[in-house]
């Protein structure tokens, strides 16, 4: 069994930044990539809001740079997934998908949150080519162009309103005949002259996969089954995110939607376990904020390890 000072689960901006900071602190961190190596930025094209790249940088290129920087300072990156972790025992035992076993004195969880898709195939195939799950990331690319937003909750209304800064028109497509959003968000959306609504409907297809860019959508009325084409240049899916916390249910405090609850920085309900990025942040969900919390988690872990003997004595006294 391999023994480690710090193990980081997840390889998006939060995980890789945590690895960079932990490596520079000489903690020799091990980062386990997980199923979505590189995180959601691997699905984007041009990133224009990451500081230091005034001409922008492609999402996969940005993640490759951060990864190489972390490795330069001694972070070890393992292409694997964690199948089991026990947070009731110290050091924390982890079992990987290939059966390998590792223990960690400190654990940083940066497993992120996965955007919910429409599951129609064409939406995923055109991801980064006109289909997006992040208005603040990609809205700028649709200046003066018509777009569609899918969803009816607060997040969908926030994205629709935000996108009116850029788009010529925003069409909200919702499966019901009324919104689920709070009244204040509904009022703001209804009052915006750039926003139109298509009720009781869903997107049956995003066009045009063969051209590799969005040229429109096919909308299905759920009451009549009728189909009609809607010409748009972009589609923003705002039907929520699912935090990747299945491994930690019953072991860490989660909020009602499954996000890890943190306090005093990135500390979780279990001493020695820290959470960073979208797995604990359902408000900002930006690459730069995820990276910032990854930095925080590494510093929190370093400070925890500095006082680990005292912490262990305290826990033993409490158990006694």
- Using an 8 Å Cβ cutoff, are 111 and 311 in contact? no
CA distance 169 to 234: 11
Set 105, 123, 137, 233: catalytic member: 137
Set 61, 119, 123, 134: catalytic member: 134
For residues 138-175, b (16+ Cβ closer than 10 Å) or e, as one string?
Answer: bbebbeeebbbbbbbbbbbbbbbbbbbebbeebbbbbe
**Residue found under tokens 């409907």:** 201
CA distance 308 to 290: 26
- Using an 8 Å Cβ cutoff, are 185 and 193 in contact? no
Residues 6+ apart with CB under 8 A from 33: 10, 11, 77, 78, 79, 80, 81
Set 105, 138, 233, 300: catalytic member: 138
Q: What are the distances in angstroms from CA 178 to CA 12, 170, 198, 202, 263?
A: 36, 17, 10, 14, 36
CA distance 233 to 204: 16
Token pair in block for residue 320: 């006694």
- Dihedral in degrees, nearest 10, Cα atoms 59, 65, 70, 74: 140
Catalytic annotation on 138? yes
Would you please indicate which residues are annotated as catalytic (active-site) residues?
134, 137-138
């Amino acid at each position: 069994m391999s023994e480690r000072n710090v193990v980081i689960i997840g390889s998006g901006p939060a995980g890789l930044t945590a690895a960079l900071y932990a490596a520079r602190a000489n903690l020799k961190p091990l980062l386990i990539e997980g199923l979505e190596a590189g995180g959601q930025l691997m699905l984007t094209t041009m990133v224009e809001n990451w500081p230091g790249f005034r001409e922008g940088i492609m999402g996969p290129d940005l993640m490759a740079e951060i990864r190489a920087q972390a490795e330069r300072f001694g972070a070890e990156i393992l292409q694997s997934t964690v199948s089991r972790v026990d947070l009731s025992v110290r050091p924390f035992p982890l079992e990987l998908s290939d059966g390998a076993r590792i223990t960690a004195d400190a654990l940083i969880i940066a497993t992120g949150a996965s955007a919910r898709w429409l599951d129609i195939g064409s939406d995923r195939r055109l991801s980064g080519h006109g289909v997006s799950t992040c208005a603040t990331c990609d809205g700028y690319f649709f200046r003066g162009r018509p777009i569609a937003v899918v969803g009816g909750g607060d997040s969908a209304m926030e994205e629709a309103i935000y996108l009116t800064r850029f788009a010529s028109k925003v069409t909200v497509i919702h499966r019901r005949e009324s919104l689920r959003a709070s009244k204040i968000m509904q009022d703001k959306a209804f009052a915006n002259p750039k926003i139109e609504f298509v009720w009781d409907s869903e997107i049956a297809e995003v066009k045009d996969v063969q051209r590799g860019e969005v040229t429109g959508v096919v909308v299905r009325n759920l009451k009549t089954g009728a189909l009609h084409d809607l010409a748009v240049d972009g589609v923003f899916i705002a039907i929520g995110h699912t935090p990747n916390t299945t491994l930690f249910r019953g072991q860490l405090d989660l909020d009602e939607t499954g996000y890890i609850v943190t306090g005093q920085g990135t500390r979780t309900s279990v001493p020695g376990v820290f959470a960073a990025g979208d797995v604990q942040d359902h408000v900002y969900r930006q690459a730069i904020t995820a990276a910032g919390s990854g930095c925080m988690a590494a510093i929190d872990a370093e400070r925890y390890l500095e006082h680990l003997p005292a912490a262990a004595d305290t826990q033993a006294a409490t158990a006694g």
